[in-house]
Chain A
């Protein structure tokens, strides 16, 4: 263990660092605030039983390879340098997390940090899906996805994936980490498999479930009736008999009739159908079949779709998600009836998708081509209100080309760049890029 005031030298940059204070600790070691020539950083210092040669090699490999590149690289608090002491102890340097901005899920549960609104919750979820997709595409597996290893900004939805020292190449990088019980895939709990990208997918599903439902997918009657939370109990709940609490075909593990379980019950009732379907898949067929787990693309697409269906309540401003199947629609918070929102239905060769039109809605490249790799968020159009009569809404063409709008009488008009097409039922917009759109009320 290090002491406040200790001076150490980093191995790669040969920078002198001073131990300033302790930030926290976990099972593997302690994290300190350190000050060096580059300013304030964090140092994770391993407990002696984790300070192994394999771990050191793993850290050096991670530093050499670097985090996944592209727009997700900022999501990873990646090892930057390694620090040794004379007694064969070691740790690694990483960026400091701004604790005023970023929150752990447990801190949100306990009201220590604010809850993210729906829009930000969707952004957090999308970011998780794309960050782990990038990590897996680089050939890595994370091995210990859990709510303790990621943080988020409740105000913006930005995420940070921490404790990347367990990241490795499946089957090649040795690891002492099997994961966190609640998040382990059943085959790891049963000692039938080692952590891999496929077990990461299971852990990611648990994390997303806890993010949305504030509960564990297997904590129902079986766990409720267990008194001694010992190894056999954990193996039973997470490995031998993992039963989804909302499994329609197996009611053996439903939520107990206890008010303490009202939160997941209420949140499931409010959960959008598209998400319910993915959770059901993840925690029924995905339990025993690693090849049939929900992958990052499925999560990404679902959250992108949900992000397009947000409608703020005009009375209380609570964010609601419009369901295609719902004829009657009430605000989840104030319960007042909401009008069916105006939707733009975009049709492309990839199918059609709905976008709820709000004052700040933007039509992006990804709406036209869900598989576009670059410029996904490039703006194609935006909602505007007529300055003379704000009750008249339109879509402004923010591209460099013309659109064609055809009304219900078959009369076509060109919409030049920076000009707007009035939102009128029956109008069809041809974006001239293979995509067209109609309006629905």
Chain B
């Protein structure tokens, strides 16, 4: 049976674990946000799909700052809309050329359009005067919800990753090698990032395809995680160690350990919110559980 455990230890942490396919997600409110009594602006979503035996992951990071005052909502919308759209591509999951084409071309246009619609719907219900004042220049509305997004579809044999803005996608393979499929953008300074709310955002996406023949693990995270380390080597060490733990230990215990570690990292480091989603692929038990699950299962805080 597919097992799903949900836990909300306190208002600063959100955790989800699943033992097959072995998946852990931890979202921690940043130390600076706790101090300033601001909400956590990150969001994540994990979904398993029976037909097609696929895992869908999304991590979104709402921008900090006064002009992005609704970014935690923007991040939630981005995470949800991205997986809804990726799920709609289900008939093509095993047609590699179609999926590459979809992630390169159609997905960015659809997610931006759908996210805009969701934002407009929300502002109409929460702040109609602001909507009326700015409906001719909706960029000012989108800005309040500004966020980044990294999302992935894991099928048998391929991982498709699509990203806008900062955040990290990393793949640890069983032979110890690590791949960062998404290159870093140029021309952005002072912590600026591309965003769902950026002008021309449909062109700011980067998508990559990675072949997976054996076992391994994908990690999606907000930039708060990598910013907690002094070097990329340290990040790699952390990822490898997380993979070894994910293979060998109870995912509930791993999530608990991660929670403590992430909170400490935020306190000692940038103070930013940190979210991490890790999922093992190529594990034989994964297929059994997926075939037993009766329908698309969504795991996140309801």
Contact = CB atoms under 8 A, between A and B. Distances in A.
Contacts of A3: 175
A111 B101 contact: no
A3 B202 CA distance: 35
Interface stretch (A20-28, A274-282, A401-409): A20-28
Interface string B173-203: 0010101000111111000001000011111
Contacts of A111: 185-188, 194, 204
Interface string A203-238: 000000000001010010001100111100000000
B177 A4 contact: yes
Given A27-B100, A110-B185, A110-B206, A259 B113 contact: no
B206 A112 contact: yes
B142 to A, nearest CB: 9
Given A22-B179, A182-B101, A109 B209 contact: no
Contacts, number: 82
Interface in B133-177: 138-139, 175, 177
Contacts of B205: 110
A329 interface: no
Contacts of B194: 110-111
A180 B101 contact: yes
A175 B100 CA distance: 20
A284 B209 CA distance: 35
B211 interface: yes
Secondary structure type dominating chain A contacts:
loop
Range for the number of chain B residues in contact with chain A:
35 or more
A229 B204 CA distance: 20
B1 interface: no
Given A112-B186, A113-B186, A224-B113, A26 B206 contact: no
B213 interface: yes
B5 interface: no
A386 interface: no
B101 A181 contact: yes
B177 A214 contact: no
Range for the number of chain A residues in contact with chain B:
35 or more
Given A26-B100, A259-B138, A229 B209 contact: no
Interface string A226-263: 01111000000000000000000000000000111011
Contacts of A260: 109, 112-113, 116, 200-202
A112 B185 CA distance: 4
A115 to B, nearest CB: 10
B53 interface: no
Contact of B204 (A22, A109, A259): A109
A110 B203 contact: yes
Contacts of A25: 209-211
B100 A30 contact: no
Nearest to A4: B177
Contacts of B65: none
5 contacts: A47-B211, A112-B186, A229-B102, A260-B109, A263-B203
Interface of B: 88-89, 91-92, 96-97, 100-102, 104-106, 109-110, 112-113, 116, 138-139, 175, 177, 179, 183-188, 194, 199-206, 208-211, 213
Interface of A: 1, 3-4, 22, 24-27, 30, 47, 106-107, 109-114, 148, 180-182, 214, 216, 219, 223-224, 227-230, 258-260, 262-263
9 nearest CB pairs, A to B: A109-B203, A27-B97, A229-B106, A27-B96, A1-B213, A112-B185, A110-B204, A110-B206, A111-B187
Given A1-B211, A112-B184, A148-B104, 5 more contacts: A1-B213, A110-B203, A181-B101, A182-B105, A260-B200
